[in-house]
Amino acid sequence: MPDYLLPYVPVAVLLGISILLAVLLPTLSVTLGPPKRDNFRKMQPYESGMTAVGDAKKRYPIKFYRVAVLFILFDIDIILIMPWAVALRDLGLFGLWAVLIFIAMFIVGDLWAWRKGLLEWD
């Protein structure tokens, strides 16, 4: 093995152990565990005492997913601006222009979301 690959041996061992456990543990659980038997008692309502109405896999309107994506985008904006603010003096003029371009792209995205009505909560 070449010398430049030696630092990656622990990572490869950890990856191998992770893959082995990810395959082995569920397999052992299914094969050695008790058989799954549904009965009347198990199908009774849990905690609240109310019988379930309808399917648990109902469809949600797309606006919930849009709001979730916008929330993630706002989080990414903060996550990327905070390190820039900490290292502002070291970055100089290049860092300033880079963050101005980033903020301009973010504002364009916000304007697009606003124009599409994604920020409206009906």
* Residue 69: CATH number of its domain: 1.20.58.1610
**For position 25, what pLDDT does the model report?**
96
* Residue 109 neighbours by CB distance under 10 Å: 13
Q: How far, in Å, are 25, 35, 73 from residue 42 at the CA level?
A: 25, 14, 42
Q: What is the pLDDT of residues 34-60, one digit of tens each?
A: 887 777 776 777 666 676 666 667 777
Computed over every residue of the chain, the mean pLDDT equals: 84
User: Is the confidence at residue 9, as pLDDT, over 90?
Assistant: yes
User: Is the confidence at residue 62, as pLDDT, over 80?
Assistant: no
Domain of 7 in residue numbering reads as 1-35
Element of type H or E holding 120: none
Give yes or no for a contact between 88 and 100, defined as CB atoms under 8 angstroms apart.
no
Q: Tell me, yes or no, whether 100 lies in a domain.
A: yes
**For position 47, what pLDDT does the model report?**
67
Q: Tell me, yes or no, whether 62 lies in a domain.
A: yes
Rounded to an integer, what distance in angstroms lies between the CA atom of residue 120 and that of residue 75?
19
